[in-house]
Amino acid sequence: MDDCMDRTPDLDGLDDEVRGRFARVKLVLCDVDGVLTDATVFVGESRESEFKQFNIQDGLGIVLLRSAGIPVGWVSARFSPATRLRAEELQIDYLVQGSRGKLPAAMEAAAKAGVGMDEVLFMGDDIVDLAVMRKCGLAVAVRNARRVVRDAAHYVTASSGGRGAVREVCDLLLHSRGLWDTATKKFFSDHE
């Protein structure tokens, strides 16, 4: 388990350009396998018996983004019932599975959200993510991404995919946009 999940986001550790990119984000898109999971897929006798492990803290980070008004989408080259179920649980705004080209899917999600690609944060881990990463405003690679993907990223997470990388980015984004208090208010209230 990564020890990076407890850290308060270090905005001072970001250079001015990357901090500015975080501040402009209006839509978060990410790959699934290797970003939201550790890239492990357990396959049974049928597609319905496929299992994936999602990080619950990543999920709460996504809930916080959505509660602050930042839509979230997932773009995966693979179709998976497990991904669809988790997306439904988290009320993901845009889910694209089985996409042969992630860039057209990302551009369509941005158009539906009414934002430009320069306002999109995309998280990836492998070469199938590079086209989107090269076109979006903030390209993020998880720590365990392929080197070519880390080299193409504006920001590389301290945590690995499926181990808190998404939560790390959610927290950074909320703090950089000044939305942390708004997003977390209900968790600190005396009333449920």
Please tell me the distance from the alpha carbon of residue 49 to that of residue 54, in angstroms, as a whole number. Answer: 16
pLDDT category at 4 given cuts 50, 70, 90 is: very low
**How confident is the model at residue 73, as a pLDDT?**
97
In tens, the pLDDT along 120-145 reads 999 999 999 999 999 999 999 999 99
* Single pTM value for the model: 0.90
Among 40-44, 111-115, 151-155, 181-185, the range scoring the smallest mean pLDDT is 40-44
- Work out the number of other CB atoms within 10 angstroms of the CB of residue 7: 13
Coil, strand or helix at 14? coil
Residue type at position 153: A
Tell me, rounded to whole angstroms, the distance of Cα 115 from its chain centroid.
17
Phi-psi region for residue 114, left (φ > 0), alpha (ψ -120 to 50) or beta?
left
In CATH, the number for domain 25-182 is 3.40.50.1000
In tens, the pLDDT along 66-98 reads 999 999 999 998 898 999 999 999 999 999 998
Residues of the chain with pLDDT > 70: what percent? 91
Return the closest-CA partner of residue 108 out of 123, 91, 120: 120
Tell me, rounded to whole angstroms, the distance of Cα 116 from its chain centroid.
17
Instruction: Give the mean pLDDT of 160-172.
Output: 96
**How confident is the model at residue 125, as a pLDDT?**
98
CB 72 within 8 A of CB 91: no
pLDDT category at 9 given cuts 50, 70, 90 is: low
Please tell me the distance from the alpha carbon of residue 182 to that of residue 119, in angstroms, as a whole number. Answer: 21
Among 28-32, 110-114, 180-184, the range scoring the smallest mean pLDDT is 180-184
pLDDT category at 2 given cuts 50, 70, 90 is: very low
**How confident is the model at residue 39, as a pLDDT?**
84
pLDDT category at 5 given cuts 50, 70, 90 is: very low
**How confident is the model at residue 139, as a pLDDT?**
98
**How confident is the model at residue 40, as a pLDDT?**
77
Sequence-distant (≥ 6) Cβ neighbours of residue 85 within 8 angstroms: none
Phi and psi, residue 76, nearest 5°: -125, 140
Residue 1 pLDDT more than 90? no
